[in-house]
Structure 1
């Protein structure tokens, strides 16, 4: 017969565990104390104490109204000596004439030795501690499974619907009622999230395709029309900007920003020095400092992140100072500093949101489309790192990338 009814909820399992731990600790303590106490009794205790006189729970005091087996003779008081037998009164006797006593009262047992009491309580505490340790680990198993499944779900969503594979699923048939209910809710949520992200990517792809076709036709018509050179060039530039915006949005929603490439062991200092030299040859104010550091990186993704951050530093701060240092945890830290006005503290996190721009004029000559920092942080997180912005005390902005 299955005992699932007794363990189908977390409350019942906790009750049974606590009850079993308490009962087991009492029984084991009683057995250990009785064994040790019987071994240590001397001949005088054997003559004075009858077999079976040890109390059920030796460390507990006698209960009023219940015969105390620790007294000689069990529930029968020790017989008083005959009056015609001379001799000194028994040690510890209490004549108490005011109570009408005519003889010594039975002497109480001296109790258990200290080492036996310590053994008694030690066994109880050990059993309860072991039960608590095992119970805590047992209760933590479903939580660990939920955390692992949540991490897998987050990775599945970040990889995009094109990565393939079903979302993680938890077993809905095992565990307590609460665990099974949590597994059912998690599985339903994972399927809904996967479906929504897939539908969103499909919708954006359809919109992008539908926008590209008329934009291409419009650009071709403008190029074949007899228009002035300046208006024609402006119109074609606007159409190309819209196409670039569509491509960027599609890239963001698909999640194919380039972080899926395989890591390669590279000298990060040489990699950064090459990027900075290329920009310096173009007349840009870019400097680099750092020692040789070999790490596994994703070159294309890292190049895109650094290109965005260095470009922002040059656009808004006039210069970009790139620095590479070894992180105290064994990773690496890349910082890009400029000498511009910086960003208001309240906007240091807001600028990472899609389509957000500090410059509200939406002028393409003073900024981009508001997706550069969002893509840069997304790529950094996919590489297992972090990207933060902070204002320098001497003025300007600092962008810092930390990679393991």
Structure 2
């Protein structure tokens, strides 16, 4: 577990990292806004300046009718010169010419006569505006807004700051909250579907609240894994310890002079006890240690059912290759066939089909089968729908074992009735094993 100092250091580094992201995004967005809207902002400023200069030009023209330009300049601070035509020292830039034209249009729209405009200086953007005077030619020097560049316009600075803050907030939500929560959601789905999850499978990353939830989830998964191991160990230990006394009991009974009826009764009880012991061992193991092997399912199924009577079991197999745990899945199929022989009606039909990306292994019999409610109960461990089943060595683990093995393969177990499958159904009721699509059709 991380120490408080380590968590503090990680939090400080994360804060510095997101601060750098904020500043970087602010700079990038500022350059983008400057390139897209800088000239439009400058144009708006020139238009606003045109409205102000139109008023100044009109007032100056009225004042020049009574007072000389020098007096007006002293009183108002306007930059007025008396000259026939101001000298243009440098060639104006394209941006200055554009601003000058925008300003000329603004002045023409507000004054009775369009004044003449001349560029003043390239280094200090300004323009000379001709003022109508009754005695002598007068020119008014007016500064122009600087072209878009550095420093940027305050409005663009603010817009870039707001956009950078929103962008960084979205990234923080995506990286610090949403992504860890999605990882936690997938882990919860895996645990909820019965798949095994190792302790610490969800990294404690992201926002502090998400880290706390991840720690709690990992602790819960660890407790579940410990409970599962303890249960499997207990079941395997009980089953293993029962084998030795059962063997000794069978040997001692064989030395007794019992009648044939008594001998058959004792043998039946011992067979039932051994069957229960085998089911305990299967449920405790479930094929968890067996590796996946790629094998042809049709040939493998033919070997699994070879010991059953041919007149009571039929095969309808398509050539399909898949990766399975053959021993564990073979025991699961045998359990289903034994259940069909014991509680259904013969003949039993084993059908293997490819459906889309999945493989369906169907075991049909001619009995009435189970309802959906009874099926849900039958999948639970130690559930016996018929109390008499326990007298023949059934402890309510058969379907639970099958379900456990199928889930270890990433598949699921379901049921089907003839009315659902239509006229091609080879029986009245079926238990269906659906395996995921890591298969190859031969």
TM-score by length of 1: 0.64
Cα deviation, residue 325, structure 1: 2.0
Instruction: Report what 1:287 is aligned to.
Output: 314
What's the counterpart of residue 290 of structure 2?
A: 261
| Separation in 2, partners of 1:212, 1:3 | 53
- Shift in Å, 1:374: 1.3
Does residue 1:344 correspond to 2:371, yes or no? Answer: yes
Shift of 1:221: 4.1
Give 1:360 shift.
2.8
Q: Partners in 2 of 1:129 and 1:338 — Cα distance?
A: 63
- What corresponds to 2:328 in structure 1? 301
Q: CA contact under 8 A between 1:317 and 1:396: conserved in structure 2?
A: no
C-alpha displacement of 1:397 = 1.0
2:235 aligned residue: 204
* Cα distance per residue 1:282-333 (max 9 Å; x no partner): 243322224322333332233222222233333312122222222212x322
Q: Is the 8 A contact 1:28 1:124 kept in 2?
A: no
* Deviations 1:69-90, CA, capped at 9 Å, x for gaps: 784259x8764452997xxx97
**Are residue 241 (structure 1) and residue 241 (structure 2) matched?**
no
Report the CA distance shift for 1:384/1:371 in structure 2 as closer, same or farther (over 3 A): same
Find the aligned partners of 1:212 and 1:70 in 2 and give their Cα distance.
Answer: 104
Give the whole-Å Cα distance in 2 for the aligned partners of 1:6 and 1:263: 41
Q: Does 1:72 align with 2:41?
A: no
Name the CA shift for 1:77/1:302 in 2 (closer, same or farther; >3 Å). Answer: farther
CA RMSD of aligned residues (A): 4.9
Q: Secondary structure at the match of 2:278?
A: helix
Look up the match of 1:396: 428
Any idea what the Cα deviations from partners look like across 1:207-230, whole Å, max 9, x if unmatched? 445544554454444333443331
Matched, 1:82 2:50: no
Deviation at 1:382? 1.1
Shift of 1:388: 0.9
How far apart in 1 are the matches of 2:10 and 2:400? 52
Q: Give the aligned partner of residue 31 of structure 1.
A: 34
Please list every run of 5 or more consecutive structure 2 residues that lacks an aligned counterpart in the other structure.
1-5, 66-106, 113-155, 438-442
Query: 1:138: how far off?
Result: 0.7
1:185 maps to which of 205, 216, 221: 216
**Maintained 8 Å contact 1:389/1:400:** yes
Which residue of the partner structure matches residue 410 of structure 2? 384
Which protein is richer in strand relative to its size? 2
Decide whether the 8 Å contact of 1:21 with 1:131 is kept in 2: no
Q: How far is 1:125 from its partner?
A: 10
How far apart are the structure 1 equivalents of 2:243 and 2:418?
Answer: 42
Alpha-carbon distance in structure 2 between the residues aligned to 1:91 and 1:190: 77
Counterpart for residue 346 of structure 2: 318
Of Structure 1 and Structure 2, the greater helix share is in 2
Q: Provide the residue aligned with 1:104 in structure 2.
A: none
Note the C-alpha offset of 1:243. Answer: 3.1
The corresponding residue for 1:137 is 174
Would you say the 8 A contact 1:336–1:398 is kept in 2? yes
1:169-218 CA-partner distances (Å, limit 9, x unpaired): 6566x643213322332343233233323333333344445544554454
Q: Matches of 2:369 and 2:312 in 1, distance apart?
A: 18
Aligned to 2:430, what secondary structure does the other structure show? Answer: strand
Confirm whether residue 369 of structure 1 aligns to residue 395 of structure 2. yes
Check whether the contact 1:337–1:396 (CA below 8 A) recurs between aligned residues.
yes
Q: Secondary structure at the match of 1:262?
A: coil
Q: In the TM superposition, what is the alpha-carbon distance from 1:340 to its structure 2 partner?
A: 0.8
- Give CA deviations for 1:44-82 in whole Å, capped at 9, x if unaligned: x9xx93xxx8xxxxxxxxxxxxxx7784259x8764452
**TM-score where L is the length of structure 2:** 0.59
Aligned pair partner of 2:355 in 323, 327, 330 = 327
Q: Distance in 2 between matches of 1:129 and 1:324?
A: 56
Aligned length: 336
What are structure 1's unaligned runs of at least 5 residues?
Answer: 54-67, 95-118, 160-165
Q: CA deviation at 1:378?
A: 1.2
How far apart, in 1, do the equivalents of 2:246 and 2:324 lie? 38
